Amino acid sequence: MSVPTHFNSGRTGRGAAFVADHHGAQHARFMRLTSYALAPLGVLAAWHLAGIVGLPAEGVRAAIGRPFPALVLIAFGVIGMLHAREGMNEIILDYVHDPVLKEKALCANLWAARAISILWTLALMLIAAPK
């Protein structure tokens, strides 16, 4: 049994007035895809990091210096930062109402995410670099 309603849809008809900007589907898809990528990368990163616990510095360098663990750790950091940036963008868009402050916060969020990703990658490369 269904109840008849005059509200046709959230995207077409009279309901279109209640939809803000049609941005939600793209955001949800991006967050879902990065989550799917982060799940196995997180397990692999934890596996590799647990394997180097207790090793001397040269052992850590050798373990992270191999291509697969280095790529897993770099991918985990960079994709994780993309995921975090997009989530923070949504928070800024939802809760910062001043347009000037919103633009500044979005710009700061973008540059902070880039800086953290670059520092993560450089740190791993410096650890893995042969001495």
Q: Rounded to the nearest 10 degrees, what angle do helices 57-65 and 24-51 cross at?
A: 130
* pLDDT: which is higher, 11 or 117: 117
The first and second tokens of residue 56, run together, are: 């001397």
Is 12 contained in some domain? Answer: no
pLDDT, tens digit, 9 for 90 and up, residues 75-107:
999 999 999 999 999 999 989 999 999 999 999
Q: What is the CATH number of the domain that holds 108?
A: 1.20.1300
| Residue 78, domain member (yes or no) | yes
Query: Quick one: pLDDT at residue 12?
Result: 57
Q: Is residue 94 part of a domain?
A: yes
- Tell me, letter by letter, the H, E, C secondary structure of 55-122: CCHHHHHHHHHCHHHHHHHHHHHHHHHHHHHHHHHHHHHHHCCCHHHHHHHHHHHHHHHHHHHHHHHH
The predicted model scores a pTM of: 0.78
What residue numbers bound the domain in which 85 lies?
23-128
pLDDT tens by residue, 36-52: 999 999 999 999 999 99
